[in-house]
Amino acid sequence: MDRHFDEELKILKEKLISMSSIAEEMIQKSTTALKDRNTALIADVFEKEKDVNMLQIEVDDIALKLIALHQPAASDLRFIISAIKINSDLERIGDLAINIAQCAQDLLKEAPLKPLIDIPRMADIAQKMVKDAIDAFVNKNSVLARDVCMRDDSVDDLNDQIFRELLTYMMQDSKNINRAIELILVARHLERIADHATNIGEDVYYIVEGKDIRHHVEDSQ
């Protein structure tokens, strides 16, 4: 493969790493804003949205040019197509962090319903899943990719647990309902972020191992 192709591929990877870093920062800041009742962090998150959107367009352009100009071999082609899919996942992750920031904005207008423990924990796991999924992609590390997919269950469990706890708050006093629903939504957004990281992990596993674990992750162990 020619040197120009390798350089372009390196840029593609770097752009995805930048996008992932921004998305991770958005996840962290939106949930910390909520936990620490810090409105300045919410503004930071909104500010980052356009950076993610711009990177999304750049990554798609680079990927398409790589395919059109260099007609890469099958394995490189698979890698570039995955970059296009991962690009969409990262953009959605950014959108979900924006959704969390919007919930935080509403929640900070009222007194706190309860101290937040599980939501920040969920955010930490989801953020690490995004980071590791992208690391697995750029390093073609199928072991790490599968590990990311396996962590999805713990996020789903936390989401269920948060949901049940908040349901109790709502049952106790109807004045809690609004805030409880916002927190349920935050947990759900985090769960979807973890789902996108899992999608990336599944894609990486596929391009490295040539096996599809999308619809049967448990079979690949």
Asked if 20 touches a copy of itself (CB under 8 A), the answer is: no
Distance CA 121, CA 204 (A): 25
Distance CA 136, CA 148 (A): 9
CA distances from 170 to 3, 31, 178 (A): 61, 22, 9
Q: Is the dihedral of CA 39, 40, 41, 46 positive or negative?
A: positive
Q: Which is nearer to a copy of itself, 40 or 111 (CB)?
A: 111
In the block, tokens 């004045």 appear at 175
Span near a copy of itself by CB under 8 A; candidates 100-108, 114-122, 137-145, 164-172: 164-172
Asked if 220 touches a copy of itself (CB under 8 A), the answer is: no
Q: Rule CB under 8 A: choose which of 71, 117, 153, 160 binds a copy of itself.
A: 71
The identity of residue 119, as a single letter, is: I
Q: Which is nearer to a copy of itself, 126 or 200 (CB)?
A: 200
Shortest distance in whole angstroms from residue 132 CB to a copy of itself: 21
Asked if 217 touches a copy of itself (CB under 8 A), the answer is: no
Alpha helices in the chain (DSSP H): 3-36, 39-70, 74-107, 118-138, 142-172, 177-209
Q: Rule CB under 8 A: choose which of 115, 174, 218, 221 binds a copy of itself.
A: 174
Q: Rule CB under 8 A: choose which of 43, 117, 143, 177 binds a copy of itself.
A: 177
Contacts with a copy of itself by CB under 8 A: the residue count is: 29
